[in-house]
Each structure stands twice: as C-alpha cells, then as structure tokens.
Structure 1
Amino acid sequence: MTADLPPAIICQVVKVHDGDGPIHCANGAKIRVAGVQAPDFASAEPCRKRRRGYVCDDRKALASKRVAERLTLGKRLVCQPVDRSYQRVVARCALPNGNSLSCSLLARGAATKWQTYWTRYRMGGCA
C-alpha cells in the first residue's frame, strides 16, 4: 500500500457499475473491488465477430452486476484501500455483516479470483 492512499473509507453505496466496480459511494468515492474480476459490459464472453464488428453477450455482466447490487446497494461498507486504478480506489471491502465483499462475490459466482491481485493485496482465504 502506498503512502498516498487514504485511511478506511465508509461507503454508503448509491450505484454499482458492474460486478467488480466501480461502486459509487454517497461521498463521491469510486471503489474497485480488490482481488476479483467480473465480466464487463460490451466485452463479456462470448463475443462473436460479425460483419459490423463484434457482438457480445452481456448476460453474464448483467447477472454479476445484479449480484453486486443485491449485496451492496443502499448499504454501508467499510473499505480499506490497497491501491489505485485509474480514478478509483482499489479496496478490500467489508459488508455490513462483516463478510468480505470479494469473497461474497466469489461464493455467488459473480466474479472470479484474479490471482495476481489476490496475492498482491494479501486477500487471504474466504470462509
């Protein structure tokens, strides 16, 4: 963790972009969920080449987003920053019940473990 990262962020979730973020907080923070990767819109597999470009199946991305919304929307998360990515804070977030958001997304099949970052951010095990 670099010195310019803020302390823990209390995030009242007002919007979820997709399964791994950014999660938009009422205080303006944008958080990318640490250690996991979820399908992205417009690039979700399977994409098929067509005459006018690629056609992607966004159903997996939408399903992942809906899981993330059910877990977080309108709730208060406590997020510990571990890095920055673009204009977002990458953070390990705890749900109101104390469970890891990353582990909860994995358990529900909404994301996969991104091993490189899981190790780098010392995510630990999931219960």
Structure 2
Amino acid sequence: MTIFNFLLFAVAAVAPSGETFTCTPTRVWDGDGPIWCAEGPRIRLSGIAAREADGSCRPGQPCPDASAEQARDALVGLIGRPTGASREGHILVTGPALRCRSVGGAGGSRTAAWCVSPKSGDLSCAMVRGGWALRWDRYWRNHRC
C-alpha cells in the first residue's frame, strides 16, 4: 500500500461507535451531511433527514418542506461560513471545531454522529428546530436537545 493510498483510506475511515472526536469542518454536501472534517471523518448527522442535494427525498425517510439548498445553507451557517464551492459541488466552509460522538457507520465511508458546534450547539437539534430537517425517529432514539 502506498502512502497515498494509506492516507486516502485513513481520511475515509469510520469513527467507531461511542468514540468522541473533533471535526474541523472543511466542506458540506447537504443538510444532513456529509460534513467533511480536516481530521478525516465524513459526518452524517445523526437522527435527522434533510432533502437530498437534487431536492428529492429517499423512500422511507422523513421529507421536510425546506429545499435542499435551504437545508445545506442553514447547516453551513450553523457550523461556520461559506468560502466557496468545490468542483464536485460541495460548499467549502470555515468554522470552529465541532465536538462529535460517533454512533458508527452511516453507509460508505461516512460516520453517523451527534455533533455540537461552539457557534450553535447541537447541530441535529438546530436543524430540526429551524425546519431544515426532520427528526428521524428510527435513528433519533432517546437523544435530547
């Protein structure tokens, strides 16, 4: 394995369930993630569902009224400020480090996590309060805002 391949794998690694970690946000895809962290993980916010980037909602998931763009932009505002866009369509962000607790894998190389921002508090709770995402009871479980 080359060092490049090792780094690529390390960046995409899923944080084990129960692990608390720091995430310095660098980019956001949509209203429930992933949020890309400078430290490596890609976070899918736990307990919520927002519209997909194309505006659709997946079958079996809650479907909020807020548009995909509204949800994405709200999440960017909750974690920091936009600094541009990547050629893949991610919104580049800068903001203070988040404190996150993993609940395990969220499909692919994403980590499902509850994250708290020093700027806006619990991100899942803030997204639901603002109407940009809906609580997804299947994953919300006994989380409290």
* Global fold match (TM > 0.5): yes
Sequence identity of aligned pairs in percent? Answer: 32
Cα distance in 1, alignment partners of residues 70 and 31 from structure 2:
8
Q: Which letter maps to 1:70? A: G
Once residues 54 and 44 of structure 2 are traced to their aligned partners in structure 1, the CA distance between those partners, rounded to angstroms, is 18
Question: Is 1:82 the equivalent of 2:82?
Answer: no
Unaligned runs of 5+ in 2: 1-15, 58-65, 81-94
Normalising to structure 1: TM-score of the pair? 0.76
Match runs of 1:1-127 below 5 Å: 4-5=16-17, 7-44=19-56, 60-73=67-80, 74-86=95-107, 87-97=109-119, 99-119=121-141, 122-124=142-144, 126=145
TM-score (ref. length: structure 2): 0.68
Distance 2:49 2:127 in 1: 10
Q: 1:97 to 1:43 in 2, by over 3 A?
A: closer
Instruction: Rate the CA distance shift 1:98–1:29 in 2: closer, same or farther, 3 A.
Output: same
Structure 2: distance between partners of 1:42 and 1:15: 17
Runs of 4+ that moved beyond 4 A: none
Cα separation, 2, equivalents of 1:20 and 1:66: 11
May I ask how many residue pairs the two structures share in their alignment?
A: 107
Q: Which residue of 2 aligns with 1:55?
A: none
- How large is the RMSD of aligned CA atoms in angstroms? 1.8
CA offset at residue 75 of structure 1?
A: 2.3
Q: Which runs of 5+ in 1 are unaligned?
A: 46-58
